[in-house]
């Protein structure tokens, strides 16, 4: 075991503060990674503030961060995929049982024994729970380590490990989107990646936003049109016309208003995870045989496919780079949707702690 510098929160209401955390020495199949950048996902905020207490209560101290890019510093004797110096990424999972039907299907995120990157039981017993990427280093089983394309800007790659795969996976699963009308609800960390992917797959992309000030950005990011969802007239004009809608909203909202935007057999997929249940009108689904689904990140193979796709198409997240010392301020801004469009923490800032 060794000690790594990190930023942790001691309770749901405590601000982040500098800390040191235990990390295990590399076992045979492990890779040790020096973390260079870590994105700030809204799930980090939900977890730190214990907003998902009814489903996944938070254990403190909590060290979030599951949008990790870094450099390999050490490999275990039986780890064959990586060598020191390689640029790599780690997303929301660091292990699974490798043997259940979900793991066999490459859908490790649904494994009943999946170990998530933070706030998950630590089966190595290094600490009560796993600690995430707001830290100088991490040790991960090599089968959960991803290769990062060399041509991309690393700070903008970090958010691909969660925001990227979470939007890429349901968009790919929906099928051939060429020429289809696709809506992305909420232009935040996930939403702006959804726009980039839907556009790259040839869809007619429409952004629904509550923030009129994001209109120009949405178009720049690849949307063909923007609807301000608080404007009833704009909403009415598009009712019944969408094939597929990806809903990324992090807070309570009227889901029926977006179901009404779908055409016959249209689907709305939820990736946003508001803390309280949404109210669903059965009638909104019945007329038009519409469906509603959910999607959770993506498997490891699909995450690598997404990273390779981003390398080929030069896709990264639009980031605001911050030092770790600005983390509490960044959280306040994230709640207000005041970030374009993901904070990426420059982990070299931890060296001065
Ligand atoms: P984010 O950067 O905060 O973006 C969320 C966006 O939702 C905001 O930018 C805002 O967009 C819109 N929004 C926020 N509050 C709203 C409200 N009260 N009413 C309507 N719209 C609102 O968050 P994120 O990191 O993209 O995460 C979004 C959600 O996805 C979170 O709940 C997160 O936990 C969840 N998530 C799920 C998965 C998964 O695997 N399913 C993975 C990662 C994250 P506008 O300003 O454009 O309206
Ligand atoms: Zn996330």
pLDDT, tens digit (0-9, with 9 covering 90-100), for 262-299: 999 999 999 999 989 999 999 999 999 999 999 999 99
Domain final position from 244, 268, 294: 294
The minimum-distance atom of ligand 1 relative to the CA of 342 is 2
Same structural domain, 36 and 60: yes
Over range 57-79, report the average pLDDT: 98
Using pLDDT thresholds of 50, 70 and 90, give the confidence band for residue 3: very high
Interval between CA 160 and ligand 2 midpoint (Å): 9
Structural domain count, the chain = 2
- The dihedral over CA atoms of 174, 180, 186, 188, expressed in degrees to the nearest 10, equals 80
Mean residue pLDDT across the chain: 97
What is the sign of the dihedral through the CA atoms of 295, 301, 305 and 308?
A: positive
Report in angstroms the alpha-carbon separations of 1 from 8, 19, 161, 172. Answer: 19, 16, 26, 41
Task: Verify that 113 and 243 share a domain, yes or no.
Answer: no
Q: 306 lies in which domain range? A: 2-162+298-352
Tokens for 270, please give them: 């939820």
Mapped onto helix, strand or coil, the DSSP state of residue 104 is: helix
Same domain, 238 and 248: yes
Q: What is the DSSP pairing of strand 30-39 with strand 137-141?
A: antiparallel
Digit-coded pLDDT (tens) for 181-200: 999 999 999 999 999 999 99
Same-domain pairing of 50 and 126? yes
* Same domain (yes/no): 139, 226: no
CATH code (residue 185): 3.40.50.720
**Both 222 and 211 in a single domain?**
yes
234 and 303 in a single domain? The answer is no
Q: Which DSSP category does 336 fall into?
A: T
Q: How confident is the model at residue 203 (pLDDT cuts 50, 70, 90)?
A: very high
Q: Which among 179, 109, 131 is positioned nearest to 4, based on CA atoms?
A: 131
At a CB cut-off of 8 Å and minimum separation 6, what does 214 contact?
A: 187, 207, 226
Residue 326 and residue 183 share a domain: no
What is the residue with the minimal CA distance to atom 11 of ligand 1? 186
Best probe residue, ligand 1, of 56, 166, 186 (max atoms within 8 Å of C-beta): 186
CATH of the domain at 319: 3.90.180.10
Ligand 1: residues with CB < 6 A are 41-43, 46, 162-163, 166, 186-191, 209-211, 214, 248-251, 253, 271-273, 295-297, 334, 337
Q: Does the N-terminal peptide bond of residue 196 adopt cis geometry, omega within 30 degrees of 0?
A: no
234 and 277 inside one domain: yes
Euclidean distance between CA atoms 113 and 115, whole angstroms: 6
d(CA 296, CA 144): 16
Token digits for 247?
């809903």
Three-class secondary structure of residue 176 per DSSP: coil
137 and 8 both lie in a single domain: yes
Q: What spacing in Å lies between the alpha carbon of 41 and ligand 2's midpoint?
A: 5
Question: Residues 132-187: pLDDT tens digits?
Answer: 999 999 999 999 999 999 999 999 999 999 999 999 999 999 989 999 999 999 99
At 69 the pLDDT is 98
Q: How much is the pLDDT for 217? A: 97
Helix count and strand count (H, E) for the chain: 11, 17
Tokens of 344: 């990426």
Whose alpha carbon is nearest atom 5 of ligand 1? 188
Residues 158 and 36 in one domain: yes
Same domain, 127 and 199: no
């Amino acid at each position: 075991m060794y000690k790594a510098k990190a930023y942790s929160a001691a309770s749901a209401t405590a601000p982040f503060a500098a800390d040191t955390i235990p990390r295990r020495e590399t076992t045979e199949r492990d890779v040790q990674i020096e973390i260079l950048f870590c994105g700030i996902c809204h799930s980090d905020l939900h977890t730190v503030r214990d907003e998902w207490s009814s489903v996944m209560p938070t254990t403190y101290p909590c060290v979030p961060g599951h949008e990790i890019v870094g450099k390999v510093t050490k490999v275990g004797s039986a780890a064959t995929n990586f060598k020191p110096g390689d640029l790599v990424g780690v997303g929301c999972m660091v292990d699974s049982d490798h043997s259940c039907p979900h793991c066999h299907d490459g859908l490790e995120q649904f494994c009943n024994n999946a170990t998530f990157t933070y706030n998950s039981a630590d089966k190595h017993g290094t600490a009560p729970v796993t600690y995430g990427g707001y830290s100088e280093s991490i040790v991960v089983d090599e089968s959960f380590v991803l290769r990062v394309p060399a041509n991309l800007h690393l700070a903008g790659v970090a958010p691909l490990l969660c925001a990227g795969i979470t939007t890429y996976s349901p968009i790919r699963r929906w099928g051939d989107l060429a020429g289809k009308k696709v809506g992305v609800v909420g232009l935040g960390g996930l939403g702006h990646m959804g726009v980039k992917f839907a556009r790259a797959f040839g869809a007619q992309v429409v952004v629904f936003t509550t923030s009129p000030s994001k209109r120009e950005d949405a178009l720049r990011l690849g949307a063909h049109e923007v609807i301000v969802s608080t404007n009833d007239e704009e909403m009415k004009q598009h009712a019944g016309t969408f094939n597929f809608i990806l809903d990324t909203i992090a807070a309570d909202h009227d889901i029926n208003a977006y179901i009404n935007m779908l055409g016959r057999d249209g689907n709305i997929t939820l990736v946003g995870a508001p803390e309280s249940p949404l109210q669903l009108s059965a009638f909104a689904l019945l007329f038009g045989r519409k469906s509603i689904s959910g999607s959770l990140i993506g498997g490891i193979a699909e995450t690598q496919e997404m990273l390779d796709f981003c390398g080929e198409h030069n896709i990264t997240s639009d980031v605001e780079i911050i030092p770790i010392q600005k983390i509490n301020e960044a959280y306040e801004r994230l709640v207000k949707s005041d970030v374009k469009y993901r904070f990426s923490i420059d982990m070299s800032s931890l060296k001065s702690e």
